[in-house]
With several copies, the nearest count.
Chain A
Amino acid sequence: MTNPKKMNMIEAVNAALHAACEADANVLVLGEDVADREEGGVVGVTRGLSTKFGDDRVKSTPISEQAIMGAAIGASLIGFRPVAEIMLMNFVTVAMDMITNHAAKLRFMSGGQTSVPIVIRTMTGSGFSQGGQHSDFLEAWFAHTPGIKVVMPSNPSDAYGLLLSAIRDDDPVMFVEPMALYWTPGEVDFQPVPLGKARIVQEGADVTIISYSIGAVHSAAAAVELAKEGIAAEVIDLRTVSPWDRETVLASVKKTGRAVVVHEAVKEYGVGAEISSVIHEQLWSDLKGPVQRVGGAYSPVPFAKPLEQAFAPNAASIVAAVRAALA
């Protein structure tokens, strides 16, 4: 697969999984309903894998997230590279011990004797009227956990390239797929995308908007609005939230002197707080004003449409934050 192709993120992730399994016989896939007997996943992300690579390497599991993560961790300790699916991000809560006390720590606690090269794929996001237990973005928990990386693509091409790199990476990676972008088509060039490297979505001299995942899409839309007002926003898609690309972000803010950080996760104690703090610490004298943050409301994700829409950031709320940053 080399010539670029238009596809959506589901297809891109599926293609990356196929490529990874093809390239390395140690790559395994497990999770609820992931095999073709179960239709290759509830939305078909893993479709075709078990048929192509066999039921030994691609396994559907009972509803047992602790066992799913344990199976992935154990196999990874002896040379395999399991890609484990936790269907929705809220369900990491029943497997947190395996992820944070074990996957993230075994390399360190063993003094480097063992390592856990696993990828935890999960999807999430509001906008589907799924309410309080099926919509949360919890990346901040894992960014606060030393030893695990957090990768959050915003488009099919990055999803493909980042997933390839995550699977090849020798450490555990939490790979968060934004449901709201699953069906948005994009050009995929089938190239690996390095972890820890941000992408400048659009250049601009007036303000830097730093985001990732669905937030990066809203930020790009906001930039279009801002352009109409003559405001040139530089939009940065972090792609990897931990470790994040400080060089790219700091270089941009040094240039613009103003920054806004955007994510759908609850604003308080979210990823934006860390990025805002570092920018203030590193670029104090270059800043023309305080870094602004845009994030989800301090509440569980509500069901009713008007509330669900008010909960999450959008182009308008980002534009408002940029105006505040420029004020």
Chain B
Amino acid sequence: MSNYPKPDAATLLAMYKSAALIRLNDERVIKEMTAGRLMMPFYSTQGQEIIPSAVAANLTDEDYICTIYRGTHDMLAKGFPLEALWGELAGRVNGSCKGKGGPMHLTYPQKGMMVTTGIVGSSMPIAVGLGWGAKLKGKGQVSVANFGDGAANIGAFHESLNLAALWDLPVIFLCQNNRYAEHTSFANSTRVKNISMRAAGYGMEGVTVNGNDPDEIYGAVRIAVERARAGDGPTLIEAMTFRFNGHLVGDAAGYIPRDELADCREKDPVPALRTRLIADGIANEADLAGIEAEIKAAIETAVAAGYAGALPDIAELKRDVFAYELA
């Protein structure tokens, strides 16, 4: 990985802005839930912020992503509008899905966020289809399938990687390996040490990188994106990371050894990147404090705007089932 293309200063700063937004927004969501103002299953993404920030740094609005219930980080990094997010979490009509999808089905096609699924593994077959469509359009678009370590053991993974490789599709299979699938540790889900080695079984490039290391994950994604845009086919990237807040809000994660938790929290990638930006002279304390203040302000505006939206009319049950409204 030493020979990986490295993110330049501007890119690192952009990645930090994205990571900070994801972290601060995630904390804000949990605050609303703890206060009992938001009722929903919420899958915190704290600890995984660097990955989508590195992905987004390599994509344009024309590129597609599919993600999972644990996907607000992927969405925000790619530019999901904050108000549309908060409106959706609040189940209001100003949500991107008019409140009909909720946190597990966030969608925003204008920026390529095509599907968020609640079914483990199902982001992959659909991302293959987006990659097929992208290849047919011939504009060099890329399709990214986000999924977890647990999803790597379900059938959809196998069929998707094989087809994408066979058809030479511009798809990036991004396994965010946070070591746990609900209560099951990675080691208890498969005999292999890492998922990326499975790529060989499909004739595909595969690599495992530290997803919390901005350089490693940025470089791996950049190479995969270039390969995809060049028409050289798909890549499987396994980004090692960790989820700080258990499976979903309310899960105390008693099944995770305390020292493992402590060790990971200590290696929190977001403050680490912040420290690095200052150390490398890319930004100073004041710059970053300013950025964070801006982000917080933007989030507060979005929270207020989200709740301000109207609750959907019952008639919405008859809309969007089909193209026409049901009688």
Residues of A at the B interface (CB closer than 8 Å) are 28, 32-33, 37-39, 42, 56-57, 59-67, 69-80, 82, 90-91, 93-94, 97-98, 101-102, 106-115, 128-134, 146-147, 149, 169-171, 297-300, 302-307, 310-311
Contact = CB atoms under 8 A, between A and B. Distances in A.
A38 B255 CA distance: 6
Given A78-B64, A91-B119, A109-B97, A67 B107 contact: no
A304 B100 contact: yes
Contacts of A38: 182-184, 188, 255
A71 B125 contact: yes
B159 interface: yes
27 contacts: A28-B136, A38-B182, A38-B183, A38-B188, A39-B255, A56-B135, A62-B150, A63-B150, A63-B153, A63-B184, A66-B159, A70-B125, A70-B127, A70-B128, A71-B163, A73-B125, A74-B131, A77-B126, A78-B130, A111-B320, A113-B96, A113-B107, A114-B114, A130-B104, A169-B323, A171-B323, A311-B317
Contact of A70 (B108, B124, B135): B124
Interface secondary structure of B, over-half rule: mixed
B115 interface: yes
Interface string B6-40: 00000000000000000000000000000000011
Interface in B109-135: 109, 114-115, 117-122, 124-135
Contacts of B125: 66-67, 69-71, 73-74, 98
A75 B132 contact: yes
Q: Give the interface centre of A64, A132, A306 by most chain B CB atoms within 10 Å.
A: A64
Nearest to B91: A304
Nearest to B135: A56
Given A63-B189, A130-B104, A33 B183 contact: yes
Interface residues of B, number: 80
A300 B151 CA distance: 24
Nearest to B95: A111
Contacts of B115: 77, 102, 106, 114
Contact of A37 (B88, B101, B188): B188
A171 B184 contact: no
| A-B pairs, 9 with minimum CB distance | A74-B129, A70-B125, A303-B102, A304-B91, A111-B98, A304-B99, A111-B97, A64-B159, A67-B159
Contacts of B311: 304-306
Given A110-B107, A130-B41, A310-B314, A74 B101 contact: no
Contact of B100 (A28, A37, A111, A149): A111
B92 interface: yes
A306 B102 CA distance: 13
A60 B184 CA distance: 8
A73 B126 contact: yes
A84 to B, nearest CB: 10
